[in-house]
Structure 1
Amino acid sequence: MRSLQDILAISVERKGSEEAILDGITPPRSAEALRACPDDRWLAAMTRSIFNAGFNWKVVDSMWPGFETAFRGFDPAACAMMDDAWFDSLVTDTSIVRHGPKIRAVQENAVYLQTQADTHGGYGAFIAGWPPDRFADLLAHLKAEGTRLGGATGQYFLRSMGVDGFILSRDVVARLIAEGVIDKPPTSKSAMQAVQAAFSAWHRSSGRPLTEISRILATSIG
């Protein structure tokens, strides 16, 4: 496995400069900022990532004010208690994407979120308690305990909220394969732990956040 500096050199050769590689990256939020984020914004971000999956993101963006209204500001207590009448009205509401299973996921994720928030004093506090070297475990938790939050959906959800972590895009996976970390896209627990170990090693050696490391790996290929 090459050092991150060696991979960065490949990216710089392809993209021209480190500044070009890291352009547009938003620094990860601090633990304090994650804790301060209201629970409704976490549920909103979960929902947005779920509806973006397999759909045109620009359409979801343009309809987002309708989502905020339809789901009552994503108040977790309200969404957790969604009754059949509300659900039925949502699946015919033209101000949102009318996808029944994804609409039901909002209710189920509101219940999940409330459980964690009640235990930890807020969902942000729960997320802030996960260090970067356990990011793969956090992804596994979202897949197991949330609804429709596995795979890339969970990764993009956390990235959108400023959680430091990696996104296993096609290019990132290609670099991990080239470095001998994995031999195919990671789907098993052991493969994800191998990915985590590699990112953690690059993080320790470089001092860079996982978000930057992910971009460096991606731009060394794509």
Structure 2
Amino acid sequence: MTDNLFIGDDGLARPGWAAVDPLLREYYDSEWGMPVRDEQGLFERLSLEAFQSGLSWAIVLRKRPGFRVAFAGFDPEAVASFGADDVERLMADASIIRNRAKILATIGNAQATVALRADGGLADLIWSHRPAETPRPSSYADIPSSSPESTALAKELKRRGFRFVGPTTAFALMEATGIVDTHLVGSHRRGSSGVWPAEA
């Protein structure tokens, strides 16, 4: 073990949050920090980050299959058409996190995502906030919770009609989708995205 990194039974170094729970370990090893550049994929990640606000990511990840069913696979056009009956259906669905404000925000964000198509689209907007450099954290204490770029992204998303997208949520989205690499230096996943080299 070194500064928040744990060596697994496979000999690979991971941060503590991904070292014990098999679901989190699989997510860390195969998905977290990998580039997501398609509209539907980014809308899903943005929606799940919003639902995660105030909760643990493990809770969201365990409910992800339920979310995908409840929100039509996070197809923005489908979710944008949800009405009052859908809101009540979702509020009664125990397979998701039942928070009315977040449900309404997700529907509104789907509508904003569709509207963005006329102006470059969600993927272009999000990726345009990629910074010139990425953090090089050696421990959790080195990982910021926001950045000038995530603050600017949150501001622009809000201007475009998105909700539940503050600077911290925007930064978490950027981490999860490869726009920044906050894998700890020494982790076997550092530099795996192809967006940033391991030494960046």
Q: What's the TM-score once normalised by structure 1's chain length?
A: 0.56
2:154 to 139, 149, 163: 139
| Cα distance change of structure 1 residues 165 and 66 upon mapping to structure 2, 3 Å threshold | same
Matched, 1:99 2:115: no
What is the CA-CA distance between 1:82 and the residue it aligns to? 1.1
Distance 1:70 1:163 in 2: 28
| Cα distance change of structure 1 residues 212 and 97 upon mapping to structure 2, 3 Å threshold | farther
What is the CA-CA distance between 1:129 and the residue it aligns to? 3.0
| Cα distance change of structure 1 residues 21 and 74 upon mapping to structure 2, 3 Å threshold | closer
The alignment covers a number of residue pairs equal to 152
Partner deviation per Cα, 1:29-82 (whole Å, 9 max, x = no partner):
4xxx63xx2x22111101110111111322221111010000001111111111
| Cα distance change of structure 1 residues 132 and 92 upon mapping to structure 2, 3 Å threshold | same
What is the CA-CA distance between 1:162 and the residue it aligns to? 1.5
The corresponding residue for 1:117 is: 117
Partner deviation per Cα, 1:82-105 (whole Å, 9 max, x = no partner):
111111110111111111001111
Segments of 5+ residues of structure 2 without an aligned counterpart are: 6-11, 16-27, 133-147, 183-194
Which of 1 and 2 has greater Rg? 1
- Over aligned residues, Cα RMSD in angstroms? 3.5
Partner deviation per Cα, 1:198-222 (whole Å, 9 max, x = no partner):
xxxxxxxxxx95x987xxxxxxxxx
| Cα distance change of structure 1 residues 108 and 142 upon mapping to structure 2, 3 Å threshold | same
Distance 1:61 1:28 in 2: 16
1:151 to 145, 149, 167: 167
- Partner SS for 1:96: coil
Residues 105 and 148 of structure 1 are in contact (CA less than 8 Å); yes or no, is this contact kept in structure 2? yes
Greater share of helix: 1
2:180 to 155, 164, 184: 164
1:142 aligned partner, one-letter code: L
1:69 aligned partner, one-letter code: V
Distance 2:73 2:97 in 1: 16
Segments of 5+ residues of structure 1 without an aligned counterpart are: 1-11, 167-207, 214-222
| Cα distance change of structure 1 residues 61 and 67 upon mapping to structure 2, 3 Å threshold | same
Partner deviation per Cα, 1:156-186 (whole Å, 9 max, x = no partner):
12221211377xxxxxxxxxxxxxxxxxxxx
